[in-house]
Amino acid sequence: MHRLPFEQLVNELRPMMTRILQRAHIYKDFDEFLHVMMIALWKAQQRYEPEVGLFSTFAYASMHGAIKDELNKIRRQKVLFIDDENEALLREEPYDPIAYRQLIDSIQSALSMEEYILFYYRYEQQFAIREIATLLQLPYEVVKRRCARMRTKVHALLMATNQKQ
């Protein structure tokens, strides 16, 4: 498969690319993210060695990683804010690295080490709760409950910070 002409490879892997974007909840700027994935696919095609395993697995990992990197770049240009429904919202503001670092430091000081680790993986690294559970070797439900408690604390901190401003 990796020896196919690039355009044919893109056509064959288009369903996989669409699935990656849907799982990442990307519906806006779809073409821009598709372009990021095509670049990652081209790089994967150049780097692939058959001893590594199936090309489709290698391509999936490369494209998925490229999307996560792109989302992290975009997220760094925004300020973290958590809404009442306990979901992360990213409010558009000019990126101020000092203010962002101060916000993260205040969150870190308000949370226990365990809670900050969850915060880091969930909001800074954008891991799914299942991924965090696997990484920390804890049951999914335990991590889900701990994340909910952590979000409540962070939400209260952010609301207090916004009222001061």
Integer Cα distance of 119 and 164 in angstroms:
23
Decide if 1 is inside a domain. Answer: no
Same domain membership, residue 135 and residue 122: yes
pLDDT value of residue 139: 94
Quick check: 140 pLDDT over 90?
yes
pLDDT of residue 87: 44
Which structural domain, as residue segments, surrounds residue 11? 6-76
In angstroms, the CA 67 to CA 149 distance is 29
Residues 157, 92 share a domain: yes
- Cα–Cα dist 36/17, whole Å: 10
Q: Which residues contact 120 (CB under 8 A, 6 or more apart)?
A: none
Can you give the pTM of this predicted structure?
Answer: 0.48
Compute the mean pLDDT over every residue in the chain, rounded to the nearest whole number.
81
Looking at the structure, tell me whether residues 64 and 85 fall in a common domain.
Answer: no
Are 124 and 88 found together in one domain?
A: yes
Residue 81 binned pLDDT confidence (cut-offs 50, 70, 90): low
CA pair distance 68, 125, nearest whole angstrom: 9
Q: 161 or 90: which carries more pLDDT confidence?
A: 161
3-state SS class at 40: helix
Greatest distance between any 2 Cα atoms in the chain: 59
Statement to judge: residues 139 and 159 lie in one domain: yes
* Number of domains, the chain: 2
- State yes or no: pLDDT of 84 exceeds 70: no
| 84 and 58 both lie in a single domain | no
Q: Quick one: 35 and 93 in the same domain? A: no
Q: What pLDDT score does 92 carry? A: 46
Is residue 60 within a helix (H) or strand (E), and if so which, with residue range? helix 55-76
Domain assignment present for residue 94? The answer is: yes
Which pLDDT value is given to residue 96? 62
Cβ atoms of 75 and 89 closer than 8 Å: no
Lowest-pLDDT range, 31-40, 49-58, 85-94, 108-117?
85-94
Give the mean model confidence (pLDDT) for residues 35-55. Answer: 88
Whether residues 91 and 160 share a domain: the answer is yes
Q: Say whether both 112 and 130 belong to one domain.
A: yes
CA 146 to chain centre: 19
